[in-house]
Structure 1
Amino acid sequence: MSTEGRGKKSTVKMLALSLFGTKKGIIASCILVAAFVSLGIFMKQENHVKATWIWDLDDLEENQEETVSFLNNKGVNLVYLHIDFENVNTERFESFIKLASKKNIDVYALGGDPNWALTKNQKSLDTFVSIVKDYNQQSAEEEKFQGVHVDIEPYLLPAWKSERENIVTQWISNLQYLKNKVKTDSELAISGDVPFWINQVEIPGENKDMGDWMISSLDSITVMAYRDQTEGENGIKGIASPLVEQAANRSKSVIVAVNVIETDEGNHTTFHDNSLNYMNHELNLLENRFSGHPGYGGVAVHDYQYWKSSQNG
């Protein structure tokens, strides 16, 4: 070591001794710093979202405590709770959200219909937002929805292939309309589900894709990266990465979703036929692969009912 190097080392040592008094004090302080660093890492991990969808509210009627216990045990901190226009039961919302809030679980009002992408159906969007806002106005703080979450999948419409540009234009218009309705006189967050290939959908007349627009315009998006393994080009990480990168470029993050529902789209798109241990292993691997990535915001499991029914699998 050079004389200059020894001098710097000696200066640092003297400064440390002056601050902490003794070598034992320095050791103790180092342990304390290490503990705080570990705590910081732990807190950073805890800040990641773990979400799920609850579509069937009937299951909550008599089992709310059991539901919240399950969610808490699984580390869920965000629930998308479906709003049934035909059977709005505010008492059911109140009791569930209150129980969830005690476990630090946020609840977003969930709504969705492929037809919500069409401007002729904006009245339905109005109804959805009105239900949420009216409910929040009359509810205690611990019983309020923290946001709205929409599942609008216009690519399921028969006209998607033949009238895609027109539908995309209307879809954007409706999402902007919905955002304005949600944000007026409220602090509700707004988020939505998107397929992993959404960045391949171009916006007519603009040098921008729907994925980038969604990331920029909404508070968060949940990417339906429905695969049953993390690794590989066609794995969860591989198909979600483009949107994760886009989110990072916009100083945003996205939630990466997996599926546990039985589907006719192929066994590779769901964990339905796999054990929970296997799914947990893959999700932990996903967390590790995206560790420290600013565009990764956490995971979501679709959906609660199937997840819970497969817990003994």
Structure 2
Amino acid sequence: MKQFSRTALFFLMFPALFLTGFSSGEKPVKATWLWQTYQTASAPDQIVAFAAAKGVNLLYLKIDTSLRPSYYHTFIQKARANGMEVHALGGKSGWGLERNRPEILSLVDWVGRYNQTVETDAAITGIHLDIEPYTLPEWKSDQNEVIRQWMGNVNAYVTKAKELDPSLQVGCDIPFWLDKTALPDQPVVSISEWLISRHDHVTVMAYRDRAEGPNSISALVTQELEMADRLGKKVIVAVETKESNEGNFVSFYEEGTARMEDELSKLSELLASHPSFAGVAIHSYEYWSVLKE
């Protein structure tokens, strides 16, 4: 039997990979999540001013698909006018299961309807999913079956988004440790590598409070960056600002904004050898905006 390299194996398995980049070109990404979607109506200027002052150029904006597209129009237009791309954010742990696939696809449909109603300067330029099925009880009882269903959902929403608009960026969040979990029936391929292959970019939740050294931000993302390098994809490295009960080393909650910015500034040099490294993300606006200096 002919032996293939891991890279060759991937392109045999997934011949229609999307190799598009960010429309912002080579400018490093600085992203954040906005989960409390009602704030786009109650405090739009405050959010945009904060994000612009911090250099944010990519906003993952939680979308409530029960709301009319017009609800978000003014806010997204303000964000775009201040140099930010906006990606529609959604996600639940249960979105890893096939029975919830219609909910995911409804988000993709919503983005399509929204973009049909607005001018280019207010368009949503991507879709970003935060799906964490490894927190479900089913993950413990039948992990392989959950992974199969998760993969099916990913294939469905990526395909639908690209059919809707090939220029839409499709991304997802993944934890750094998922690279130790193999695909069912593909023990040489991790679920992390497969997720990287299917998306334009992934945001790796490397929740640590120092840039270098053992158990640091840069140390946790090495494998993901190497995978993305091979596959021609992009990786955004994310940190946490919310108080954590897992230990003081997880979040910048204790250290504050100045220390966080100092540590993040080191990553461009530490990770410079990886063409896949696209920038950083801070989770999330709700906690970052009240983080001590």
* Residue 55 (structure 1) aligned with residue 40 (structure 2): no
Equivalent-residue separation in structure 1 for 2:274 and 2:55 (angstroms): 20
Picking from 107, 118, 126, the partner of 1:139 is 118
| TM-score using structure 2 length | 0.87
Residue among 222, 234, 246 paired with 2:203: 222
Q: Please, which of 190, 193, 199 is the counterpart of residue 173 of structure 2?
A: 193
2:240 corresponds to which residue? 259
* Whole-angstrom distance in 1 between the partners of 2:108 and 2:70: 18
Q: Render the CA deviation track for 1:154-180: whole Å, top value 9, x for unaligned.
A: 011012122111101111111001111
2:155 aligned with 1:176, yes or no? yes
* Structure 2 counterpart of 1:252, one-letter code: K
Distance 2:27 2:140 in 1: 39
Partner of 2:260: 279
Judge conservation of contact 1:258–1:302 (CA < 8 Å) in 2: yes
Distance change in 2, residues 1:73/1:45 (3 Å): farther
Structure 1 equivalent of residue 213 of structure 2? 232
Q: TM-score, length-normalised on structure 1?
A: 0.82
Describe the superposition over 1:124-151 as per-residue Cα deviations: whole angstroms up to 9, x where unpaired: 1122111111111111111111010000
User: Unpaired segments of 5 or more residues in structure 2?
Assistant: 1-23
Matched, 1:78 2:58: yes
Q: Which residue of 2 aligns with 1:10?
A: none
For CA contacts below 8 A with separation 6 or more, give which structure has more relative contact order.
Answer: 2
Could you tell me which of 89, 101, 111 is aligned with 2:80? 101
Q: Deviations over 1:58-88 (max 9, x none)?
A: 22223212211211111111000001244x1
- SS of structure 2 residue aligned to 1:80: strand
Distance 1:262 1:89, change over 3 A: farther
Equivalent AA in structure 1 for residue 48 of structure 2: V
One-letter amino acid of the structure 1 residue matched with residue 91 of structure 2: G
Higher share in helix:
1
- Does the CA-based 8 Å contact 2:125-2:169 persist in structure 1? yes
Bigger Cα Rg? 1
Instruction: Flag structure 1 segments of 5+ consecutive residues without an equivalent.
Output: 1-43
Quote how far apart the aligned CAs of 1:292 are: 4.7
Q: Does 1:112 align with 2:115?
A: no
Determine if contact 1:113/1:151 at 8 Å carries over to the other structure.
yes
In 2, the alpha carbon distance for the partners of 1:170 and 1:53 equals 26
Q: CA RMSD in A?
A: 1.7
* Contact 1:146–1:189 under 8 Å retained in 2: yes
Question: In 2, distance between residues paired with 1:77 and 1:211?
Answer: 25
Q: Secondary structure at the match of 2:278?
A: strand
